[in-house]
Amino acid sequence: MSKEMAPEHITIRTQMRIPYAYSAGLYVGRFLQELRDNEKIYANKCPKCGRLLLPPRIMCGRCSVRMGEWIEQGHKGTLVSFGVTIEPQVDVTTGENKKVPFTTAGIQLDGGAAILHLLEETDASKLRLGMRVEAVFKPREERQGLITDILHFKVVEE
């Protein structure tokens, strides 16, 4: 047959899917159950250094002691940091681009622990550090025992 070039150049489009599962364990498992079943956000406290861990863990990594008391954090807190993402980026769990804009925020909960989550407001000019925010949960039937059972936090007037 002939030695001519390929008539057109073919591109193969494909996907690699890597599913996995892990046990959330005793502490994070209980944390996720409380989120899903009772809309409660828990942290636990180190009896030695006094810091709060969210999600709760069995040991304090700094003090190497068993963590102590579980403290409910409430739904409200204060905005301590935020960033608005405007550049599309791949969501590795779906293989598709994330919808932009979205806001990632650090929130100091009234119970004392900090949480990193999404914020409903995506207009940075309407956000100020120190604003009061509140967790918005998904409806009970949509909650799966994941941190995304909290849909996002929203700014509230107080």
Partner 1 sequence: MVDEVTVREPIIVHQGFIVSYEYAAGEAGSRFYVELRDKGNILGTRCPQCSKVYVPPRTTCGACFGKLDEWVKLKAEGTLMTYTVVHYSLPVHPVGTPFAYGIIRLDGADTGLTHLLGEVDLESIRIGMRVKAVFKEDRQGNILDIKYFKPL
What secondary structure does DSSP assign to 43-81, as a single string?
EEE-TTT--EESS--SEETTTTEE---EEE--SEEEEEE
Residues in contact with partner 1, shown as a per-residue x/- string from 64 to 103 under the rule CB under 8 A: -----xxxx-----------------x-xxxxx-------
CB of 4 to partner 1, least distance (A): 9
Q: Note the maximum CA span of the chain.
A: 80
Of 39 and 120, nearer to partner 1 (C-beta) is 39
Cα(34)–Cα(82) distance, integer angstroms: 26
Judged by CB under 8 A, which stretch of 63-71, 75-83, 100-108, 117-125 contacts partner 1?
63-71
* Pairing state between β 59-60 and 150-155: unpaired
Dihedral sign, Cα of residue 28, residue 32, residue 33, residue 34: positive
CB of 78 to partner 1, least distance (A): 23
CB of 17 to partner 1, least distance (A): 4
Cα(42)–Cα(39) distance, integer angstroms: 10
Q: How far is C-alpha 116 from the chain's CA centre?
A: 6
CB of 15 to partner 1, least distance (A): 5
Residues in contact with partner 1, shown as a per-residue x/- string from 7 to 46 under the rule CB under 8 A: xxxxxxxxxxxxxxxxxx-xxxxx-xxx-------x----
Query: Could you say which of 3, 99, 123, 125 contacts partner 1 (CB under 8 A)?
Result: 3
Residue ranges that bind partner 1, judged by CB under 8 A: 1-3, 5-24, 26-30, 32-34, 42, 56, 69-72, 90, 92-96, 145-146
